[in-house]
C-alpha cells in the first residue's frame, strides 16, 4: 500500500506512518511463524527461550511507544515536535501559529511567537500560499498591526481566487471585514 497508491494524505499528514501498520502484518506473521517452527523443532527449552525473546521484544516496543506518547499530548506539542524534527515544514509552522492564535488555552502562545511562526511559514512558501498568508494576517491583527493585517488578508484573498479556492477566498474576505471593522479575530 505504501507508495503504490497516491493519496492526498501522504503529502501533508504527520501520521502517515499509521499506514505502515498494514504493511507490517505480513513480516510479523512470517517472523512469528518461523519462531514457532524453530521452537517446535528444538523442544521445550527452545520454547522458553522464544517466550523470553517475545517478552523482551514486547517490552522494548512498549518502551518506545511510551517515549513517543508525549508528542501527542495536544496539538501544540505535536506541531512543536514536528517543527523540531522538520524546521522547513511550512504547514507545521503555520498550524502552530494558527493554534496559538485561535486557542484560548494555548498556555505558551502569544501573538509575537505566532507572528514569527507565520512569517517563517510564509517565507517557506514565498508568500504565495493563501492559507499561510491568512494566518500571517491573523497574527498581524493579534499583534496590533492592523494595516498589515488588512494588506496581508487582501493578498491572501487574491491568492485564493487565483488558485480557484473560492470558499477559502470567501472565508478570508469575511475575516478581512472583521479586521476593517476593528473586531477581534476568530476563536475556537
**pLDDT, tens digit (0-9, with 9 covering 90-100), for 76-135:** 999 999 999 999 999 999 999 999 998 876 554 588 999 999 999 999 999 999 999 999
Report whether 149 contacts 138 (CB < 8 A).
Answer: yes
d(CA 21, CA 10) in angstroms, rounded, equals 15
Nearest to 136 by CA among 120, 159, 157: 120
The percent of the chain in helix, strand and coil, each rounded to the nearest 5, is: 75, 0, 25
Whole-number percent of the chain with pLDDT over 70 = 84
Specify the pLDDT at position 1. Answer: 47
130 and 98, same structural domain? Answer: yes
Q: Is the pLDDT of residue 56 over 70?
A: yes
168 and 108, same structural domain? Answer: yes
Map residue 126 onto helix, strand or coil. coil
If one counts every other C-beta atom within 10 angstroms of the C-beta of residue 9, the result is 11
Residues 6+ apart with CB under 8 A from 36: 50
Domain of residue 18: give its range: 9-71
Mean pLDDT for the stretch of residues 35-58: 83
Higher pLDDT, 41 or 169: 169
97 and 113, same structural domain? Answer: yes
111 and 64, same structural domain? Answer: no
- Evaluate whether residue 188 is within a structural domain: no
Specify the pLDDT at position 102. Answer: 85
- Evaluate whether residue 25 is within a structural domain: yes
Report whether 136 contacts 152 (CB < 8 A).
Answer: yes
- Evaluate whether residue 3 is within a structural domain: no
* Highest-confidence segment of 11-20, 35-44, 136-145, 150-159: 150-159
- Evaluate whether residue 16 is within a structural domain: yes
Instruction: List the Cα angle 170/131/166 in 5-degree steps.
Output: 30
157 and 108, same structural domain? Answer: yes
Distance from the first to the final alpha carbon of the chain: 36
Report whether 120 contacts 93 (CB < 8 A).
Answer: yes
Count of domains for the chain: 2
Whole-number percent of the chain with pLDDT over 90 = 53
If one counts every other C-beta atom within 10 angstroms of the C-beta of residue 152, the result is 26
Query: Per-residue confidence at 187, pLDDT binned at 50, 70, 90?
Result: very low
d(CA 10, CA 19) in angstroms, rounded, equals 10
d(CA 85, CA 17) in angstroms, rounded, equals 15
pTM (two decimals): 0.74
d(CA 151, CA 127) in angstroms, rounded, equals 13
Mean pLDDT for the stretch of residues 59-73: 89
- Evaluate whether residue 186 is within a structural domain: no
Amino acid at each position: 500500500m505504501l507508495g503504490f497508491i497516491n493519496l492526498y494524505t501522504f503529502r501533508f499528514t504527520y501520521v502517515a506512518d499509521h499506514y505502515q501498520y498494514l504493511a507490517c502484518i505480513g513480516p510479523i506473521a512470517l517472523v512469528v511463524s518461523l519462531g514457532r517452527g524453530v521452537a517446535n523443532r528444538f523442544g521445550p527449552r527452545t520454547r522458553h527461550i522464544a517466550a523470553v525473546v517475545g517478552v523482551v521484544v514486547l517490552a522494548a516496543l512498549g518502551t518506545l511507544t511510551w517515549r513517543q506518547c508525549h508528542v501527542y499530548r495536544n496539538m501544540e506539542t505535536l506541531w512543536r515536535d514536528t517543527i523540531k524534527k522538520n524546521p522547513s515544514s511550512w504547514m507545521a509552522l503555520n498550524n502552530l501559529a494558527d493554534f496559538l492564535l485561535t486557542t484560548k488555552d494555548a498556555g505558551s502562545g502569544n501573538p509575537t511567537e505566532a507572528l514569527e511562526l507565520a512569517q517563517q511559514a510564509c517565507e517557506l512558501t514565498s508568500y504565495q500560499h493563501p492559507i499561510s498568508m491568512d494566518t500571517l494576517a491573523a497574527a498581524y491583527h493579534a499583534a496590533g498591526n492592523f494595516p498589515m493585517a488588512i494588506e496581508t488578508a487582501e493578498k491572501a484573498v487574491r491568492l485564493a481566487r487565483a488558485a480557484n479556492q473560492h470558499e477559502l477566498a470567501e472565508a478570508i474576505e469575511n475575516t478581512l471585514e472583521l479586521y476593517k471593522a476593528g473586531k477581534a479575530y476568530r476563536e475556537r
